[in-house]
Amino acid sequence: YWCAVCIGVLCVLIAVCCVSVYCCVCSFSRWKNCCIRGVLSMAMISGFFMMIYLGPIMLIVMTIQIKCFQEIIDIGYRVYHSYELPWFRTLSWYFLVCVNYFFYGETLAEYFGALVQREEPLQFLVRYHRFISFAVYLAGFCMFVLSLVKKHYRLQFYMFAWTHVTLLIVVTQSHLVIQNLFEGMIWFLVPVSIVICNDIMAYLFGFFFGRTPLIKLSPKKTWEGFIGGFFGTLVFGFILAYLLAQFQYFVCPVEYNSETNRFTAECEPSDIFVMHEYTLPFTVQSILRWKTVTIYPYQIHSVALSTFGSLIGPFGGFFASGFKRAFKIKDFADTIPGHGGIMDRFDCQYLMATFTHVYIASFIRGPNPSKVLQQLLVLQPEQQLSIFNAMRDRLRDRGILPPAATEAM
């Protein structure tokens, strides 16, 4: 713990020293901006991984989500001059609470079944969770209708839609980040790191070699940065996947242990985190002079994640750039000098989180015995006994268990 704190303090001191050096050295505006972004990027990356090491990641994701929501809502508040709208901000935050209650309640029911079974109030909340969530949302809906004022009808409906689209973009995808986290820390760290790496690589390649504009929405983006970022991210993702796949802490699904009352990440690593030998295509063999290569299958999956993060992920940033241009603003906020607001840093992360969740569901996730067991424990005793008898008969038919007569003898 104290080692991590010392490392974090050291990183902050190094950042301060770098800022001082830049003030003395950087005289050209182009290099000045590069120095500011570089120094603060290193400070943010160091702080991010220090927080992951020290604290609950779900709390970090929740904090980032709230800040992103606040930045987007504030833009609507300023652009549409919504100062006179009754209950606008109150209802916006109320709907944020409603949606978070729904999503995190679903997570509680799915991943904390053992805890729910021991607490009677939680059993009630989980059993009627969706009905309660709908009732709470309906109360906010009715408050909105009652707050309608004749001279502000159109503007109020604009802002109602603005709030709900913001909830869809920010809260829904934040929930997917949490879902990815429960599949294993590696499914959180690798996608997040890929986006960070691609942003840095694209900026560096564009800064030093950029000549050809990429898209009108972002005049500073170049083809050289885009292509350089792609290849740099592929290499980075492949190496990071190799490093993290070696550790059980990163590859095991995060589960709640009812005996110790804490999260655990202990398991027998699945096949994608076990070294496999692959035969290379003949053309590659002739170039590298290797017939086979031994890697983790997850490294192959990391190539798919890196490809998406570097080719499609930037379109999340382009979307954000178009949004800002539509409302004639430079950044979502001025929280981070040289970078803008928190949303300016996470515009690509949300798109990446959604892809990772879909990728896991489509190509990785299989039946989870612990989840099945948790669902069985919720059933009534007679239902559990019926399932037990059905499973026993099925296993006997398949020859896994001895026949009933032999068992009796």
pLDDT tens profile 82-117: 666 778 888 999 999 999 999 988 887 777 766 666
- Please report, to the nearest 10 degrees, the dihedral formed by the alpha carbons of residues 352, 357, 360, 362 taken in order: -110
Range in 33-37, 185-189, 220-224 the model is least confident about: 33-37
CA dist 81 and 21 (Å) reads 42
pTM across the whole model: 0.81
User: For 42-88, what is each residue's pLDDT tens digit?
Assistant: 665 666 666 666 555 677 788 889 999 999 988 888 877 766 677 88
Non-local CB neighbours of 255 within 8 Å, separated by 6+ positions: 111, 182, 263, 264, 265, 370
Q: Are 301 and 272 in contact (CB under 8 A)?
A: yes
Confidence of residue 347 (pLDDT cuts 50, 70, 90): confident
* Amino acid, single-letter form, for residue 191: P
Range in 215-224, 345-354, 363-372 the model is least confident about: 363-372
Structure tokens at 39: 């120094």
| High-pLDDT (> 70) share of the chain, % | 78
